[in-house]
Amino acid sequence: MKIAIMGAMPEEIAPILEKVGEYKTTKYAGNIYYEAKYNGVDLVIAYSKIGKVFSTLTATTMCEHFGAKKLLFSGVAGAISEKLKVGDLIVATKLAQHDLDITAFGHPFGYVPEGAVYVEADKELIDLSKEVAKEMGKSVQEGIIATGDQFVADEKRKNWIGEKFGADALEMEGASVAVVCDALDVPFFILRAISDAADMDASFSFDEFLETSAVESAEFIMKMVDKLVD
Ligand code: ADE
């Protein structure tokens, strides 16, 4: 079974590549895909570049071209919930696109016909993450993640997303990856470590904590891989 590990930015997959050591590099559709054998299991690792379009392309490529049968996403997010602080981990139970808007036709935010506002992440992988959290002695929160093609650095926008979607954190790729995996029947898991609070200081906080938070997330994801291999 091949497992995909995906991030959006180089910093999000660097700790994973470091951990796997040796890998084969393939250029495909404008991105680099790293294939590795890790404890006997085949991995395909890549960062997509930021946003819903690039992450859709990468998730689809990992499943359809590289044959990934599970997909784990590792990265950082802005916190909406006051309970989430920089460095904390959040596991997405379900994801929505906060910038999808055909409300002019009477539909709710995040909805288009034949779609759904929320896409649920794989329950077995979420259960596995609880075991991993216990073994690592880490507290990991579960919650709703909202995705959009915007870096949110505004309290009002953040609160609107929190209220409309019941979201605990926001980022720019999770829901598009979720749509792809759901459509292709590939179980997926989205993990994010908090880098900022999506407020007026968000860009400074993001720059300061991107690397350390990305490492937090990547370490947890690799423990998930260890468990999946067991
Ligand atoms: N990823 C990390 N922080 C973010 C923010 N504030 N907005 C969108 N994506 C993010």
223: nearest Cα among 42, 38, 59? 38
Res 164: pLDDT: 98
| pLDDT band, residue 29 (cuts 50/70/90) | very high
Tell me, in angstroms, the distance from the centre of ligand 1 to residue 72's CA. Answer: 19
Q: What is the topology classification, in CATH, of domain 2-229?
A: Rossmann fold (3.40.50)
Please give the mean pLDDT across all residues of the chain: 97
Tell me, in angstroms, the distance from the centre of ligand 1 to residue 227's CA. Answer: 29
Closest ligand 1 atom to Cα of 197? 6
Query: 170: Cβ below 6 Å to ligand 1?
Result: yes
Give the separation between CA 49 and CA 41, rounded to whole angstroms: 25
pLDDT exceeds 80 at position 42: yes
| pLDDT band, residue 26 (cuts 50/70/90) | very high
Which residues partner with 95 through β-bridges?
Answer: 119, 145
Distances in Å between the Cα of 229 and the Cα atoms of 42, 58, 225 are: 10, 23, 6
Res 229: pLDDT: 86
Pocket test for ligand 1, best of 50, 73, 152, 209 (most atoms within 8 A of CB): 152
Q: What is the pLDDT of residues 60-93, one digit of tens each?
A: 999 999 999 999 999 999 999 999 999 999 999 9
pTM score of the predicted model = 0.97
Query: 152: Cβ below 6 Å to ligand 1?
Result: yes
Give the residue-averaged pLDDT of 85-106.
98
